[in-house]
Structure 1
């Protein structure tokens, strides 16, 4: 999970989003694998984190449904996105090394950034997930990726925009945008994250910048063919 700008965050949840993603209406039928993941999570993360995970799962299902993507894959990736959220830094580093991942200086200084990669490893080794799209969606939910699939965008956006993040006008605008255009919403959320990191004086991982630029470029490619998209692009850059 990445932190959005504090200006976008408020206490509480968004009633509009809560209403639109009623769990009973959107969740796939119960299955043992989901129950097993939840049971495992209860021994690994606090209750507040489980509530966040469930909200991400709900919003991911809604976005997948709206964009005609695989709801079950979206639900699975969202449910597992924070499997390694509370792993200790040494454990995250050792898992990354054992997996043969290249650890850059920023990740070495802030191993918590590796929790997404570690979560994908746990999903594969502990829960037998073999679907590469699901594993990549878990892997990319924090920093994003220039090559992120639409399913990856769904989990990335659901994590950053789930209703527990607050109900500011900008957050509500980004939620509405995510329901309409995954590509534009992805660069806008990455852009907001970058602004926060700069204002807070934090280190910025290159992949966050690459994600923002890649999806902005993909969106710009649609502007030539769509005058409405051009207006949205100008509006997004000015905010």
Structure 2
């Protein structure tokens, strides 16, 4: 099992982001990582993996939206047309590549959670769900997320209910593009929750 010294990782993430004038992103990443760890203690055998994924999930903030298509292509990342339309959502895939190549994260479960933290995906794990939900609870905007109350009520039921609530909220509130992974996760979650 791959383990990281969390304090060392925190300082490496800080150095990486602060050098690129992304202090606000650093604060968000640490907040998501720490919350993912606490949430993960209820659902995961190795909650440290959730913290690692959280600390690194937005590491790609060093690239502004208008550079992300080119950066992704240089990294050999396959892109959906929806990502070309809304380059912001490419950041999850770029963060995965940076975690792998700059931070030497090779644990596939951690890399998966980083790669789908914005959209989730059809073949999600509990770790993917924990990081996805932590990112929505500790969002990077001002104030409280507008969906937070319903999401927390759903979280009392299960990770799946919480993820489903959030995606359902997005789909009924003027979403710019519907990423294929998001749609696939939504369909799978709906089926899973219907069978409970």
TM norm structure 1: 0.71
Matched, 1:197 2:174: yes
Matched, 1:210 2:184: yes
Aligned partners of 1:140 and 1:156 also within 8 Å:
yes
What does 1:1-239 correspond to in 2, within 5 Å? 30-89=6-65, 91-162=67-138, 166-167=143-144, 170-178=147-155, 180-198=157-175, 202-222=176-196
Q: What's the offset of the Cα at 1:75?
A: 0.4
Bigger fraction of residues in helix: 1
CA 169–82 in structure 1, closer or farther in 2 if over 3 Å, else same:
closer
Gaps of 5+ in 2: none
Higher relative contact order (CA 8 A, sep 6+): 1
Aligned partners of 1:66 and 1:179 also within 8 Å:
no
- Aligned pairs, number: 192
* d(CA) in 1 for partners of 2:85, 2:5: 42
Q: Deviations over 1:91-134 (max 9, x none)?
A: 42233224443322221122221100000000000000000010
TM norm structure 2: 0.86
Aligned CA RMSD, in angstroms, stands at 2.4
| Deviates most, 113-122 or 29-38 | 29-38
* d(CA) in 1 for partners of 2:61, 2:120: 16
Q: Secondary structure at the match of 1:127?
A: coil
Q: Pick the structure with greater CA Rg.
A: 1
Aligned partners of 1:145 and 1:207 also within 8 Å:
yes
Q: Which runs of 4+ in 1 moved over 4 A?
A: 163-170
